[in-house]
Chain A
Amino acid sequence: MKKIIKHVLVPEHKKLSEKEKKLLLEKYHITIRALPQILKTDPAIQDLSVKEGDVIMIKRKSPTAGESIYYRVVVSSE
């Protein structure tokens, strides 16, 4: 598990609190369905104890912006 998180291809994943989640949705005037998704079984979020509907903040290393922030909502893997 630790090995995966240290891998160069894997950016930092962080779970948003309910309050942060609400602020995010208000900021962009969107519902949670508009966010890109991440499966609950995704290897990179196994240590975060997530449930469906949680929002994951991802700090990507970007070649164009240095660091960019992306959000994904946790969905069940059908």
Chain B
Amino acid sequence: MTAEQIIKEYSKELPEKIINDLLENLPKKISDKKVKEIVEEVVKEYKEMQITPAESVGIITAESIGEPGTQMTLNTFHFAGVSEMNVTTGLPRIIEIFDGRKDIATPMMNIYLKKPYSEGKDIEKVALRLKETLLEEIAQEFYINIADMSVEIQLNKEQLDKIGLTNQDVINSINKGIKGIKVKEKDNTLTVTKKQETDNLNEIYSLKEKLKKVFVTGVKHIKYVLPVKREGEYIILTSGTNLKDVMELDFVDSTRTTSNDIFEVEKVLGIEAAREAIIQEVYKVMQEQGLNVNIRHIMLVADAMCAMGKVQGITRYGIIREKASVLARASFETPMKQIMQASLMGEVDKLNSVVENVMVNQPVPVGTGLPGLAVKVIKGRIGGYEGEKDEKKSKAEKTAKKEIKKEEKKTTKTKTKKAKSSKSKNKE
């Protein structure tokens, strides 16, 4: 038998990672007996290192994240050299994630590309295809022609070539964006008129404002793109996220592209992906700050946030609301509101968890306080061994008979005493 086979036998008792570590670190020439000895020692050590049942891991997590959290910086950090793009990190980001905020301060994406593009081919063009481009960005100027009651747009040819658009593309997107208008092209100038002729200048003016915001090309919500080279391949960082639409694009590697918006990840990829995203985002911040927090703590928080099938923040509207106990909810935030609501609904607090038992001064179900004493009671027998049953029965019967006799004697004695005393009283 090889060492590998011996170790694989223990695969039910040990996690995959420890088995792999063992296989990597075993010396090449080793006897089977020694391998077995080592593995058994590892199993023993592993079982000792496991957390004990009823250990309050939540408190340990709270302390382990909270204490290094005091050393976190409060500022945001800038991308290398590009001052326009900054990302919230440090404490504000941690709070943002744990609170489960829907609108985060700096949404951004890491877009990975497929083969020829990831090596730098047409990287500028690809980046511009992602960026949300509005008409005002490719137009040089907007005029209002009062005589014809029309809006004239002079296009920026250079910008158009850079993105790879033709004038016809622009006309199409204008027609798509605004209904009830006519677009004419002459040289590099587009003339836009309303189908229904009007004399009202205000209408033309509002048309001009609308035209400026017409969506021409790119992916919606992607405000800014930045191609960078990371670990030998080109990726595109964006500010603004739209995971669903970006993953549909043919030049994007849809297996690795991610967003830092947890709710978007949940919507597009599901709850398990959201849990993974929470862990990665929090861990990234911790590492940027040079803090050493064990990933198990972050995993526990992420599990708690994702237990109900949707991402919930650690707020009174999130996971705290799911708590069964009124007192536990009241002890977190807005106690009056919780108690009033509970009394209206006629809620019952069964005092099953920790906080409520602290409040009523009882042992908390944590550690040694959790297990209760259970005794199996069989009728006619309390404790004792199997053969003892008959002996005890006969003994119990005997003692019972004796007691009955004693009591009979007592009653007779008292009767005679009473009789005597009454007689003596009569004599007196």
Residues of A within 8 A of B (CB): 3-4, 6-11, 13, 36-39, 42-45, 58, 60, 62-68, 72, 75, 77
Contacts and interface: CB of A to CB of B under 8 A. Distances in A.
A45 B247 CA distance: 18
Contact of B255 (A8, A36, A42, A77): A8
Interface string B59-80: 0000000000000000000000
Nearest to A60: B272
Contact of A8 (B256, B306, B310): B256
A43 B269 contact: yes
B295 interface: yes
Interface stretch (B12-20, B326-334, B339-347): B12-20
Contacts of A4: 268-270
A63 B295 contact: yes
A73 to B, nearest CB: 9
A77 B266 CA distance: 14
Contact of A75 (B15, B267, B309): B309
A60 B272 CA distance: 9
A75 B295 CA distance: 29
B308 interface: yes
B20 A13 contact: no
A39 B254 CA distance: 23
Interface of B: 15-20, 247, 254-256, 258, 265, 267-273, 276-277, 295-296, 299, 303, 306-310
A6 B17 contact: no
A44 B267 CA distance: 10
11 contacts: A4-B270, A6-B254, A9-B269, A9-B272, A38-B271, A42-B271, A44-B273, A60-B276, A64-B296, A65-B16, A66-B15
B280 to A, nearest CB: 8
Contact of A68 (B15, B18, B255): B15
A65 B258 contact: no
B265 A9 contact: yes
Contacts of A45: 270
Contacts of B276: 9, 11, 60
B269 A37 contact: no
Contacts of B270: 4, 10, 38, 42-45
A25 B129 CA distance: 51
A64 B247 contact: no
Contacts of B265: 9
Nearest to A45: B270
A11 B272 contact: yes
Given A9-B258, A67-B16, A58 B272 contact: yes
A38 B310 CA distance: 7
B295 A44 contact: no
Given A6-B254, A9-B258, A72 B309 contact: yes
B309 A66 contact: no
Contact of A37 (B15, B20, B308): B308
Contacts of A7: 254-256, 269, 273
Contacts of A39: 271, 309-310
Contacts of A63: 295
Given A45-B270, A68-B15, A6 B255 contact: yes
A66 B272 contact: no
A71 to B, nearest CB: 12
A43 B309 contact: no
A38 to B, nearest CB: 5
Contacts of B268: 4, 43
